[in-house]
């Protein structure tokens, strides 16, 4: 575990060094997050906080990977996934700034782009890296052939959107994503996929550096630049380990957030305007129940931590 931990430390210090410059530049360029009017009233003070902070995660990860983890072509699959989804997220962030009327990319456009990127990644994983299996706890490795491709596409797009929905409170998405990547880093290490373990922990280190500045009250938000990139890359990492069936467990917070939106919208539509949650995504529901933002975040972290530990344990069976 020497190289994974050393790479994580390098990414952390790179993020810590880069963050002040990024935050200062974003403020100078007025790259401030627009807060949706239908959100909790307590979030109004967040309007104008610099967004696109995902750069603080992506840039150190790329640099640390090129310096310490250039171990063949396989590493470029998650690396390019991170960068390309970061670019799409950055475009969305720039279109949704304070004072902009567009509110970001349309849902249709964003889905089509994410679907195209996911399809490309899935084809490379299957036909380029020859991945075609799933690991079942207590059973073992089972080949699924060409079905690997559509499953990978759905997993990548779904996880990218789920992490994106989770990014609504200070440190929530970054902390839970760090836990998930740590879990898959351990799984990859136990499989002997050292390059993937190093990459996962590199991301963890970069996220810890970002969280230093994202701690409540946040100086910067990761924005779609970070959330879309982290979600898609987490899915690709899970697919590369073969333990993608454990992803809903390891990323249980992301699943809960996404499902809360799906359930809320569906119930609202078919019940004629009634709601199950006070507000979705789920973290807003607990805010409106009276939990403070740090309470929601810390409790979601704890759930994510326990789920990650169980996920690693099941991967060993």
pLDDT digits (tens, 9 = 90+) for 137-155: 999 999 999 999 999 999 9
Share of the chain above pLDDT 90, in %: 85
Provide the pLDDT for residue 225. 97
The answer on pLDDT for 1 being more than 90 is: no
The residue written with tokens 């929905």 in the block is 165
Provide the pLDDT for residue 46. 79
CA 164-255-5 angle, to 5 degrees, is 75
The pair of three-digit structure tokens given for residue 110, joined into one six-digit string: 């964003």
Write down the domain spans for the chain.
2-244
pLDDT digits (tens, 9 = 90+) for 274-284: 999 999 999 99
Provide the pLDDT for residue 34. 67
pLDDT digits (tens, 9 = 90+) for 256-265: 999 999 999 9
| CA atoms of 280 and 263, how far apart (whole Å) | 9
Classify residue 242 as exposed, middle or buried by CB count within 10 Å of its CB (0-12, 13-18, 19+). buried
Provide the pLDDT for residue 256. 98
- Taking Cα atoms as reference points, which of 62, 57, 87, 74 lies closest to residue 239? 74
| CA atoms of 237 and 311, how far apart (whole Å) | 14
Residue 63: which residues within 8 A CB-CB, separation 6 or more?
A: 11, 14
The answer on pLDDT for 100 being more than 90 is: no
The pair of three-digit structure tokens given for residue 14, joined into one six-digit string: 């790179």
pTM of the shown model: 0.95
What's the mean pLDDT in 201-206? 98
What's the mean pLDDT in 193-205? 96
């Amino acid at each position: 575990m020497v190289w994974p931990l050393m790479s994580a430390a390098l990414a952390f210090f790179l993020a810590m060094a880069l963050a002040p410059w990024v935050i200062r530049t974003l403020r100078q360029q007025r790259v401030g997050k627009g807060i949706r009017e239908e959100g909790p009233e307590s979030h109004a003070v967040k309007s104008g906080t610099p967004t696109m902070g995902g750069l603080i995660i992506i840039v150190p990860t790329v640099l640390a990977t090129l310096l310490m983890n250039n171990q063949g072509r396989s590493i470029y699959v998650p690396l390019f996934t991170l960068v390309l989804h970061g670019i799409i997220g950055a475009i969305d962030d720039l279109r949704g700034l304070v004072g902009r009327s567009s509110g970001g990319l349309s849902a249709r456009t964003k889905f089509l782009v994410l679907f195209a990127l996911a399809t490309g990644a899935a084809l490379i994983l299957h036909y380029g890296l020859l991945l075609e299996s799933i690991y079942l706890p207590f059973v073992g490795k089972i080949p699924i052939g060409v079905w690997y491709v559509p499953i990978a596409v759905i997993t990548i797009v779904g996880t990218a959107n789920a992490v994106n929905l989770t990014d609504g409170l200070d440190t929530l998405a970054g902390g839970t994503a760090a836990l998930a990547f740590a879990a898959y880093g351990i799984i990859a290490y136990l499989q002997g996929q050292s390059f993937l373990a190093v990459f996962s922990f590199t991301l963890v280190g970069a996220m810890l550096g970002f969280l230093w500045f994202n701690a409540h009250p946040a100086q910067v938000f990761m924005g779609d630049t970070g959330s879309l990139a982290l979600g898609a890359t987490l899915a690709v990492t899970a697919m590369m380990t073969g333990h993608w069936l454990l992803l809903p467990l390891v990323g249980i917070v992301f699943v809960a957030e996404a499902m809360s939106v799906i359930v809320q919208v569906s119930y609202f539509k078919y019940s004629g305007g009634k709601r199950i949650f006070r507000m979705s995504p789920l973290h807003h529901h607990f805010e409106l129940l009276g939990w403070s933002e740090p309470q929601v975040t810390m409790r979601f972290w704890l759930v994510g931590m326990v789920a990650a530990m169980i996920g690693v344990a099941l991967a060993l069976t």
